[in-house]
């Protein structure tokens, strides 16, 4: 991995270019950050504004809170003040910044005090920082103030310190996008003296404030938080500047510690020293491991993974990068991250391994000392029991296959060289051996290629350097030739092995990337939770070679949704660890810092909304500690799984919310219908009954008959309303079960017209039935009710005196029943909406209102009997027609 700092960092350049591009159209934001109320933020902002005004800058005041402080109010004089907008809210007249007036005025700089302020309900934006964001987008520079306790990320911390929960907060993104931050600070003693002098609060409230929020301890903590927040912002800007301009670090403006961890560093003393150093300097620290693709044992990989895990638990940022030279790559990374101090372990000096390192090469720490020009380097002595052994660092079990194969390739090159010398009289045949050595390096790696180099040198000497067939070299120039041959072969071996290692790493990472891409595509297409959890379990089990169980909450209790565990039992202790991981949103179980005595490792599935479940892992490997690649892969899989589960859960919740909203809508429509349509006939019935009861002796027989007829008619209408409600309930609950029996359509049509005679008494009614219609298997009660609802609809929405026609005939192997009227028809071609529940139109006869359920029930009945219904405008004249179609020999769909 090339981490050279001689070229600018692309990401930093993009951020710089984006900021410069926006700078032409976006205003500048300067924040006066106060450590506590009363430190003088507004005073400093006004002082800066006065200086800008003297320099000829167009400065206006959007809103400034002087809090009755005389010295602050004096600085307002001479500055243009845009009048505040008056708003009447809950009986009070309130003032807010007039955002529209400021946008129209378009000054160069606007002063906006109290960035965290909540606007009056009804304003364009609920928060003042949103107003500031719009001003910046309009190209207007803004000076604003805010206290550190209003930062969203510090809200919980400050509440735990001061015991006061601040309700008005500002997102950290606003602070991060600020072009300038000026820290306004006072020592606790000076601030308390201002409090005693009455310059912050009135005398009767100052004493109580000093006992609680403004205690010396609270002010000291707030001051430190403000200093840290400002330092983080400045540090981030400095780092971006260095990366964008390819400035080689370190710039020791702020301390940053890096611990260089290698496979030889077996105990935790190095990490603990780095932690202590970072704490003493109050600095962030990084633990870096340069992965050189060494073929290490499983025990060595597990130890390295354990060390990285320990570093994370100590609060370090852990980074693993691929590379070839640990020292060079570590120093390059340190320069890129503006690290100021490096921590490394003392080189191994005891035992045969230390002696071997001293004889054949320098240690990583010695190379760091040589390369780390400009960095203070802390060399930490090893503990007594931290002596790396060769067994821990050697490759896996030695395989002789690559060496045998390498030998075969060298002997093959020897045969080719001999043939070239005999058949073509070619004397310079060393290239044949070099070709074979390169092949061994690419195919089998460094050590087999070095063996091939040594064997090739011997063959070249024995067969091609005089005197032949001996290892004696007579001529001095042949000694030089043999030396350079061996040197060239060793260099070629190293280059070939390096290319092979890089290819192996690239192929491995490409396979992981492809697997993650395929996994992401697969889970994106899944729509059910069961399919998703099974796919996730199978993918993790396959890629990490371990057992997997997926646990998701149901009614507040974790349950196993799927398992890929070869039947291994989850014990009670494992369940306790899983529940703990879910409730506390932390890793628990085997190999972790929490409940490590159980046999499973449980990882919470974290999302922005909380923990959505837990994944359990188990394997035959001791400790269940994953190496860096496996940990990164697992983290990616778990994050994708959590996001996919959250997506499905949110989709389900959205469907539930939509159903609930629709239910509320229907309930509201139903209540509205009941409140009007059901009360109207009830009022008529009650009125008529009361008249009969009170004035029955005074009424003649005709009046009594009219009142009784009104009671009967209104009771029938009320009965129809109630019947419609019951029918709709049956349809929606799925309780409707049609009984299909042979039906004479003519009889059912006649019965429906007879029932609707009172409704159609002011209309002309025609019945056109084709002769010899076949019997149809329908539910006669449902069919009659459906036809009656259509006739009732025609009576309501067509003028009196017009004709309503009912036709029944056979066409294209289907029975068609059509109801036509001569009304105004429909205003649009798409008439499907009229079959929706509670759909109503203005009635030509206002004495016949309804619930808007009749046509919806009609469709439900017709479809339950296996038919279809449609509504359309008539083609021969003005009016509408409803066409019911039933296949001949139809049977109930239920």
pLDDT tens figures, 416-474: 888 887 777 666 777 788 888 888 877 777 778 888 888 888 888 888 878 887 877 77
Report yes or no: 41 and 145 within 8 Å, Cβ to Cβ: yes
Q: Per-residue pLDDT averaged across 44-56, rounded?
A: 92
Range among 394-403, 488-497, 737-746 rated most confident: 737-746
Segment holding 816, helix H or strand E: strand 814-820
Q: Taking Cα atoms as reference points, which of 666, 620, 662 lies closest to residue 837?
A: 666
Q: On the CB side of 595, how many CA atoms lie within 13 Å of its CA?
A: 21
**pLDDT top residue among 357 and 342:** 342
Give the Å distances, CA to CA, from 677 to 619, 691, 715, 717: 69, 22, 12, 9
Give the contacts of 135 (CB within 8 A, at least 6 positions apart): 27, 62, 99, 102, 103, 110, 112, 142
Q: How confident is the model at residue 394 (pLDDT cuts 50, 70, 90)?
A: very low
Distance CA 472, CA 462 (A): 8
Distance CA 115, CA 171 (A): 11
pLDDT at 59: 94
pLDDT at 794: 87
Q: Per-residue pLDDT averaged across 487-510, rounded?
A: 76
**pLDDT top residue among 464 and 671:** 464
* Long-range contacts of the stretch 6-13 (C-beta < 8 A, 24+): 6/246, 6/248, 7/246, 8/243, 8/244, 8/245, 8/246, 9/243, 9/244, 9/246, 9/336, 11/243, 12/239, 12/240, 12/241, 12/243, 12/244, 13/244
Give the Å distances, CA to CA, from 663 to 659, 668, 721, 723: 6, 8, 20, 20
Give the contacts of 246 (CB within 8 A, at least 6 positions apart): 5, 6, 7, 8, 9
Taking 60 as the threshold, does the pLDDT of residue 355 lie above it? Answer: no
Q: On the CB side of 626, how many CA atoms lie within 13 Å of its CA?
A: 18
Give the Å distances, CA to CA, from 461 to 419, 435, 447, 694: 17, 17, 21, 137
Report yes or no: 880 and 829 within 8 Å, Cβ to Cβ: no
Distance CA 346, CA 326 (A): 15
Bridge partners for 59 per DSSP: 109
Q: Per-residue pLDDT averaged across 585-602, rounded?
A: 80
How many other C-beta atoms lie within 10 A of the C-beta of residue 680?
A: 16
DSSP, collapsed to helix, strand or coil, labels residue 686 as helix
Report yes or no: 511 and 503 within 8 Å, Cβ to Cβ: no
Q: How confident is the model at residue 352 (pLDDT cuts 50, 70, 90)?
A: very low
Name the token pair of 298. 């499983």
Taking 90 as the threshold, does the pLDDT of residue 58 lie above it? Answer: yes
Please provide residue 508's backbone torsions phi and psi, each rounded to the nearest 5 degrees: -65, -45
Report yes or no: 835 and 855 within 8 Å, Cβ to Cβ: yes
pLDDT at 48: 93
Query: What is the distance, to the nearest Å, from the Cα of residue 120 to the centroid of all Cα atoms in its chain?
Result: 32
Angle at which helix 780-797 crosses helix 745-755, to 10 degrees, equals 50
For residue 154, the 8-state DSSP code is G
Q: How confident is the model at residue 720 (pLDDT cuts 50, 70, 90)?
A: low
**pLDDT top residue among 864 and 677:** 864
Please provide residue 348's backbone torsions phi and psi, each rounded to the nearest 5 degrees: -65, 130
Q: Per-residue pLDDT averaged across 725-735, rounded?
A: 61
Q: Per-residue pLDDT averaged across 15-20, rounded?
A: 52
Q: How confident is the model at residue 3 (pLDDT cuts 50, 70, 90)?
A: very low
Give the Å distances, CA to CA, from 682 to 713, 758, 846: 11, 19, 17
Taking 60 as the threshold, does the pLDDT of residue 890 lie above it? Answer: no
pLDDT at 831: 74
Report yes or no: 379 and 296 within 8 Å, Cβ to Cβ: no
Q: How confident is the model at residue 834 (pLDDT cuts 50, 70, 90)?
A: confident
Please provide residue 177's backbone torsions phi and psi, each rounded to the nearest 5 degrees: -90, 0
Q: Taking Cα atoms as reference points, which of 613, 636, 843, 851 lies closest to residue 723?
A: 851
Taking 80 as the threshold, does the pLDDT of residue 625 lie above it? Answer: no
- Residue indicated by tokens 């299909």: 740
Q: How confident is the model at residue 569 (pLDDT cuts 50, 70, 90)?
A: confident
Mean predicted lDDT score pLDDT of the chain: 78
* Long-range contacts of the stretch 872-878 (C-beta < 8 A, 24+): 872/826, 872/831, 873/825, 873/826, 873/829, 874/820, 874/825, 877/822, 878/822, 878/823, 878/824, 878/825
DSSP, collapsed to helix, strand or coil, labels residue 422 as helix
pLDDT at 191: 77
Taking 60 as the threshold, does the pLDDT of residue 8 lie above it? Answer: no
pLDDT at 321: 81
Q: Alpha-carbon Rg of the chain, whole angstroms?
A: 43
pLDDT above 90: percentage of residues in the chain: 10
- In angstroms, the first-to-last Cα distance of the chain is 69
Dihedral sign, Cα of residue 560, residue 565, residue 567, residue 568: negative
Give the Å distances, CA to CA, from 375 to 250, 261, 343, 793: 7, 17, 10, 90
pLDDT at 484: 79
Q: Per-residue pLDDT averaged across 579-592, rounded?
A: 83
pLDDT at 474: 73
- Residue indicated by tokens 């809200």: 155
Q: How confident is the model at residue 732 (pLDDT cuts 50, 70, 90)?
A: low
Reduced 3-state DSSP string for 861-876: HHHHCCCEEEEEECCC
Q: How confident is the model at residue 613 (pLDDT cuts 50, 70, 90)?
A: confident
Range among 358-372, 441-455, 832-846 rated most confident: 441-455
Report yes or no: 821 and 794 within 8 Å, Cβ to Cβ: yes
Distance CA 685, CA 182 (A): 79
Name the token pair of 26. 């976006």
Name the token pair of 160. 């735990």
pLDDT at 5: 47
**pLDDT top residue among 522 and 116:** 116
The predicted-structure confidence for 259-295, as pLDDT tens digits, reads as follows: 998 877 656 788 888 888 888 887 889 999 887 765 5
Q: Per-residue pLDDT averaged across 841-863, rounded?
A: 66
pLDDT at 886: 92
Q: How confident is the model at residue 14 (pLDDT cuts 50, 70, 90)?
A: low
Taking 60 as the threshold, does the pLDDT of residue 214 lie above it? Answer: yes
Distance CA 9, CA 243 (A): 5
The region of weakest confidence among 478-487, 526-535, 866-875 is 478-487
Please provide residue 386's backbone torsions phi and psi, each rounded to the nearest 5 degrees: -105, 70
Distance CA 880, CA 81 (A): 67
Name the token pair of 681. 């006939």
The model's pTM is: 0.44
pLDDT at 102: 92
Query: What is the distance, to the nearest Å, from the Cα of residue 578 to the centroid of all Cα atoms in its chain?
Result: 23
Name the token pair of 784. 């009659």
Q: Per-residue pLDDT averaged across 397-416, rounded?
A: 82
Taking 70 as the threshold, does the pLDDT of residue 762 lie above it? Answer: yes
Taking 70 as the threshold, does the pLDDT of residue 87 lie above it? Answer: yes
Distance CA 181, CA 174 (A): 11
Q: Where are the alpha helices (DSSP H) in 88-202?
A: 99-105, 128-137, 155-162, 172-176, 188-196
The region of weakest confidence among 557-571, 700-714, 861-875 is 557-571
């Amino acid at each position: 991995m090339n981490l050279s700092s001689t070229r600018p960092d692309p990401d930093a350049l993009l951020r710089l270019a984006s900021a410069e591009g926006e700078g032409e159209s976006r205003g500048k934001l300067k924040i006066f950050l106060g450590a506590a109320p009363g430190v003088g933020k507004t005073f400093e902002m006004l002082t800066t504004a006065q200086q800008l005004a003297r320099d000829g800058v167009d400065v206006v005041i959007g809103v400034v809170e002087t809090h009755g402080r005389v010295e602050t109010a004096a600085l307002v004089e001479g500055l243009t003040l845009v009048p505040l907008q008056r708003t009447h809210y809950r009986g009070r007249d309130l003032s807010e910044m007039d955002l529209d007036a400021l946008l129209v005025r378009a000054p160069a700089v606007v002063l906006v005090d109290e960035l965290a302020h909540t606007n009056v309900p009804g304003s364009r934006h609920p928060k003042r920082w949103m107003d500031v964001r719009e001003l910046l987008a309009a190209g207007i520079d803004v000076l604003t103030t805010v206290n550190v306790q209003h930062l969203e990320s510090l809200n919980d911390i400050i509440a735990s310190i001061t015991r006061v929960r601040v309700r008005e907060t500002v997102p950290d993104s606003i602070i991060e996008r600020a072009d300038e931050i000026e820290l306004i600070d006072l020592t606790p003693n000076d601030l308390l003296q201002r409090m005693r002098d009455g310059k912050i609060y009135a005398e009767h409230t100052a004493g109580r404030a000093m006992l609680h929020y403004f205690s010396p301890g609270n002010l000291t903590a707030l001051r430190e938080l403000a200093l840290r927040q400002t330092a983080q912002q400045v540090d981030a800007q400095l780092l971006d500047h260095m990366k964008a301009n390819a400035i080689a670090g370190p710039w020791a403006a702020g301390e940053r510690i890096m611990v260089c961890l290698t496979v030889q560093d077996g105990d935790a003393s190095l990490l603990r020293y780095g932690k202590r150093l970072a704490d003493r300097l109050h600095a962030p620290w990084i633990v870096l491991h340069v992965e050189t693709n060494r073929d290490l044992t499983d025990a060595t990989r597990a130890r390295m993974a354990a060390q990285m895990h320990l570093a994370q638990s100590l609060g370090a940022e852990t980074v693993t990068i691929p590379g070839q030279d640990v020292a060079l790559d570590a120093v390059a990374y340190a320069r890129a991250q503006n690290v100021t101090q490096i921590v490394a372990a003392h080189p191994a000096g005891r035992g045969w391994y230390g002696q071997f390192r001293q004889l054949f090469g320098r240690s990583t720490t010695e190379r760091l000392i040589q390369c780390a020009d400009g960095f203070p380097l802390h060399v930490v002595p090893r503990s007594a029991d931290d002596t790396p052994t060769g067994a821990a660092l050697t490759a896996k079990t030695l395989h002789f296959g690559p060496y045998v194969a390498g030998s075969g390739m060298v002997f093959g090159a020897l045969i080719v060289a001999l043939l070239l010398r005999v058949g073509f009289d070619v004397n310079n045949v060393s290239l044949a051996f070099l070709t074979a050595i390169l092949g061994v390096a690419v195919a089998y790696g460094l050590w087999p290629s070095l063996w091939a180099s040594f064997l090739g040198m011997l063959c070249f000497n024995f067969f091609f350097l005089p005197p032949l067939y001996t290892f004696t070299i007579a001529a001095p120039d042949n000694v030089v030739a043999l030396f350079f041959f061996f040197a060239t072969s060793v260099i070629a071996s190293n280059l070939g092995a390096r290319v092979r290692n890089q290819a192996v790493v690239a192929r491995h990472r490409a396979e992981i990337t492809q697997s993650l891409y395929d996994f992401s595509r697969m889970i994106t297409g899944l729509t059910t939770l069961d399919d998703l959890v099974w796919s996730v379990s199978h993918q993790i089990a396959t890629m990490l070679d371990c057992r997997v169980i997926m646990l998701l909450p149901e009614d507040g209790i974790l349950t196993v949704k799927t398992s890929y565990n070869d039947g291994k039992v989850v014990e009670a202790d494992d369940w306790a660890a899983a529940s703990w991981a879910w409730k506390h949103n932390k890793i628990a179980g085997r190999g972790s810092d929490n409940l490590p005595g159980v046999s499973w490792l449980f990882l919470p599935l974290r999302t922005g909304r909380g923990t959505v479940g837990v994944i359990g892992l188990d394997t035959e490997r001791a400790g269940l500690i994953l190496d860096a690649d496996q940990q990164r892969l697992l983290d990616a899989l778990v994050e994708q799984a959590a996001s996919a589960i959250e997506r499905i859960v949110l989709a389900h919740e959205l469907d539930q919310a939509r159903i609930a909203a629709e239910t509320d809508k229907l309930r509201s429509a139903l209540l509205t219908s009941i409140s009007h349509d059901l009360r109207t006939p009830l009022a008529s019935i009650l009125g008529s009954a009361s008249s009969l009861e009170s004035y029955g002796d005074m009424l003649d027989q005709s009046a009594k008959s009219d009142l009784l007829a009104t009671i009967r008619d209104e009771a029938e209408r009320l009965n129809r309303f109630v019947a419609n409600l019951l029918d709709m309930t049956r349809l929606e609950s799925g309780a409707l079960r049609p009984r299909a029996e042979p039906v004479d359509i003519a009889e059912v049509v006649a019965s429906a017209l007879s029932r609707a005679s009172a409704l159609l008494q002011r209309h002309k009614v025609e019945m056109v039935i084709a002769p010899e219609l076949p019997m149809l298997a329908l539910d006669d009660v449902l069919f009659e009710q459906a036809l009656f609802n259509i006739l009732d609809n025609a009576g309501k929405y067509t003028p009196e005196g017009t004709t309503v026609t009912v036709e029944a005939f056979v066409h294209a192997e289907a029975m068609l029943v059509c109801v036509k009227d001569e009304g105004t028809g429909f205003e649009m071609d798409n008439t499907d909406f009229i079959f929706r529940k509670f759909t109503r139109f203005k009635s030509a006869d206002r004495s016949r209102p309804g619930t808007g359920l009749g046509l919806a029930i009609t469709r439900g009945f017709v479809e339950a009997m296996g038919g279809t219904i449609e509504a359309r405008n008539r083609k021969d004249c003005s009016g509408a027609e409803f066409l019911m179609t039933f296949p001949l020999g139809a049977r109930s769909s239920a």
